[in-house]
Amino acid sequence: MNTEVAREIRRFIRDELMFGEDDGSLTAHDSLLSRGIVDSTGVLELVTFLETTFKFHVEDDELVPANLDSIENIARFVERKCRACFVAN
């Protein structure tokens, strides 16, 4: 997992979804859904952030917890999408 990508994702989650209230207990493996950090609106905000920041499109069939439910899953998803962008171009 790319630590810079994970750091950027964590920063977004802290600032936008947790409203700057980070007590340091959120790990890269924690479920954002189970912890109540992300709801349906939060998923939309997260996807917009990913598409804007990393310059790729998230397909409807990619909106699954395996891709978006933890910082670790999101970072790996970003890495896969970015690799696919390089291959396609």
Tens digit of each residue's pLDDT, the chain (89 residues): 678 999 999 999 999 999 887 778 899 999 999 999 999 999 999 999 999 999 999 999 999 999 999 999 999 999 999 886 654 44
> Can you give the pLDDT at residue 89?
42
> Can you give the pLDDT at residue 84?
67
For 60, the 3-state DSSP assignment is: helix
Dig out the tokens for 26 from the structure.
Answer: 């959120």
Is 82 in contact with 51 (CB distance < 8 Å)? no
Tell the CATH superfamily of the 3-22+30-88 domain.
Answer: ACP-like (1.10.1200.10)
**d(C-alpha 51, C-alpha 33), whole Å:** 20
For 17, the 3-state DSSP assignment is: helix
> Can you give the pLDDT at residue 36?
93
**d(C-alpha 74, C-alpha 6), whole Å:** 8
Q: Model-level pTM?
A: 0.89
Angle between helices 3-12 and 40-54 (to 10 degrees): 130
So where are the chain's domains?
3-22+30-88
